[in-house]
Amino acid sequence: DSGVTQTPKHLITATGQRVTLRCSPRSGDLSVYWYQQSLDQGLQFLIQYYNGEERAKGNILERFSAQQFPDLHSELNLSSLELGDSALYFCASSVDESETQYFGPGTRLLVL
Amino acid sequence: QQPVQSPQAVILREGEDAVINCSSSKALYSVHWYRQKHGEAPVFLMILLKGGEQKGHEKISASFNEKKQQSSLYLTASQLSYSGTYFCGTVNQAGTALIFGKGTTLSVSS
């Protein structure tokens, strides 16, 4: 158990819908990262927050957005969902940006 | 900036050895290694820091060649449990965020 929690574990929804994925980092970690992993693909970095502020953006679509709240938990919002958005979404946290990242168990999203 | 891993895939029998390489075009401060089992979260294996020594974890060890900006992960006497995808992540000397390579898939059979 890495100490990072993600909810929900599984999510099934329809195209065009909007969903919110939630992540609680390890205690003491200020940095939160979101990754997308499609079938047999590598980890695609989406976005990073550090202590409530956006720090880096990767290949994140405009339909996706995220935020980190004062209690440091983070939410990833996915809207106008398409079939291709079906993937495993991981959240990771670290004490600092260049430090080891600890991954949550992931949220498996299936868009039908 | 994404590190390059090689090979893309390795197939082994139990007891055989393997080496996975990770290289960067940037001067590196640290290299991180992770292993991911199918459908599970990546799990941290070890970190190698600039100026640090070779690290080990059970029968898995790694080295970091700062001059060549490369790291290698050594898996000796492989076990079935070693199967998975191995990712390296690098932090360059500018202290930027960890960036992951595309991964190397290791399959160990009996």
Among chain A residues, CA nearest to B47: A100
Beta carbons of B99 and A98 less than 8 Å apart: no
Shortest Cα distance, chain B CAs vs residue A80, angstroms? 25
How far lies B23's CA from each of A50, A54, A68, B78, in Å?
A: 27, 28, 32, 23
DSSP state of A74: E
Q: For position B99, what pLDDT does the model report?
A: 85
Which tens digit of pLDDT belongs to each residue from B17-59? Answer: 999 999 999 888 889 999 999 889 999 998 888 776 666 666 8
User: Is the distance from CB of B16 to CB of B78 less than 8 angstroms?
Assistant: yes
In the chain, the amino acid numbered A109 is L
The more confident residue out of A104 and B27 is A104
The predicted pLDDT at position B95 comes to: 62
Model pLDDT, residue B83: 96
**B18, B78 contact by CB (below 8 A):** yes
Q: What is the pLDDT of residue B8?
A: 95
Tens digit of pLDDT for each residue in A18-33? 999 999 999 999 999 9
Q: To probe the interface with A, which of B31, B98, B100, B107 has the most A CB atoms within 10 Å? A: B98
Question: Cα(A22)–Cα(B9) distance, rounded to whole angstroms?
Answer: 33
Q: Is the pLDDT of residue A98 over 80?
A: no
Give pLDDT, residue B55: 66
Residues β-bridged to residue B18: B75
Region of A3 (left: φ > 0; alpha: ψ -120 to 50; beta: rest) is left
pLDDT of amino acid A34: 95
Q: What is the mean pLDDT of residues A28-47?
A: 89
Cα A91 to Cα A97: distance, rounded to the nearest angstrom: 14
pLDDT, residue B94, reads 65
pLDDT (mean) for B73-98: 87
* pLDDT, mean of residues A82-90: 96
Q: Compute the average pLDDT of residues B60-81.
A: 92
Q: For residues A51 and A38, is the Cβ–Cβ distance under 8 A?
A: no
Task: Count interface pairs A-B at CB distance under 8 A.
Answer: 49
Q: What is the pLDDT of residue A100?
A: 84
In chain A, % of residues over pLDDT 90 = 80
pLDDT given for residue B91 in this prediction: 84
Task: pLDDT band for A40, please (50, 70, 90 cuts).
Answer: low
Task: Please spell the DSSP secondary structure of B14-58, one letter per residue.
Answer: TT--EEEEEE-SS-EEEEEEEEE-TTS--EEEEEEETT---EEET
